[in-house]
């Protein structure tokens, strides 16, 4: 099987990293709980324009930074705080040990995404890394997934044996659907939004659960032993 895996909030805890960094920044700069709530809300799970997040930080915390410097500052904070989800790196090892091929397919700028990958030890556990900022195309465009499949030597793979797994219905699941792959959604306890189209093939609260369910959903799958 072939796995195309999102990075942020799928393999690594990007939102928790932002929240932890923001809490420290608010405390250091004399902000309030209301300031912290507004900053986290402005981030919108990483999907808000980065300049808008920077402006909120400048306004709330009285930073003297200009917008580009503020963006650099909070991006560095995320990199400093990001961690892989418990057990996920072990699952990547188990997939590859079983003969599966694995690629990270992530939206974002190169230095930020690769910085998170390096910090969390992901690179040694996958076969390819595809970053939208390096390719000039981003999910939900299926072209980013096609690039990943080509890097894996699997451009002609049976799409029923390819899984796109991620936490963003409008980006990850939509990209997989457009590329003809099977899809897994990491819900983090959310309900599927019908605005994102048909439900994914499998859904569960955590990445580990999605991977195990996807393995079990393959008619000819080997045992999902080792994946929880």
The DSSP line for 74-87 is HHHHHHHH--BPTT
> For 93-148, how does the pLDDT look when each residue is reduced to its tens digit (9 = 90+)?
999 999 999 999 999 999 999 999 999 999 999 999 999 999 999 999 999 999 99
**Class (C level, CATH) for 2-13+85-217:** alpha beta
Look up residue 40 and give its two tokens: 């986290």
Q: How far apart are the first and last CA of the chain?
A: 17
pLDDT band for 27, please (50, 70, 90 cuts). Answer: very high
What is the tens place of the pLDDT at every residue in 65-81? 999 999 999 999 999 99
- Find the DSSP H helices in the chain: 14-28, 33-43, 50-61, 67-81, 88-97, 110-120, 132-135, 143-151, 174-179, 207-217
Q: According to CATH, where is 3.40.50.1000 located in the chain?
A: 2-13+85-217
Residue 54 banded pLDDT, cuts 50, 70, 90 = very high
């Amino acid at each position: 099987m072939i796995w195309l895996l999102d990075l942020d909030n799928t393999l690594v805890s990007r939102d928790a990293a932002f929240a932890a960094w923001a809490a420290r920044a608010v405390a250091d700069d004399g902000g309030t709980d209301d300031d912290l709530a507004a900053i986290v809300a402005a981030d919108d799970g990483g999907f808000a324009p980065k300049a808008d997040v920077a402006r909120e930080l400048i306004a709330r915390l009285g930073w003297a930074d200009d917008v580009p410097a503020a963006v650099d500052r909070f991006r560095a904070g995320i990199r400093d705080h990001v961690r892989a989800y418990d057990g996920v790196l072990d699952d990547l090892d188990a997939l590859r040990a079983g003969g599966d091929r694995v690629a990270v397919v992530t939206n974002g700028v190169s230095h930020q995404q690769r910085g998170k990958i390096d910090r969390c030890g992901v690179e040694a556990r996958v076969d390819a890394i595809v970053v939208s900022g390096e390719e000039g195309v981003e999910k939900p465009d299926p072209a980013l997934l096609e690039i990943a499949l080509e890097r894996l030597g699997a451009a002609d793979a049976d799409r029923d044996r390819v899984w796109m797994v991620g936490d963003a219905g409008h980006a990850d699941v939509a990209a997989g659907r457009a590329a003809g792959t099977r899809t897994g959604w990491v819900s983090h306890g959310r309900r599927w939004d019908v605005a994102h189209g048909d439900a994914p093939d499998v859904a569960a609260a955590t990445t580990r659960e999605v991977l195990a369910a996807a393995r079990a959903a393959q008619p000819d799958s080997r045992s999902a032993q080792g994946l929880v």
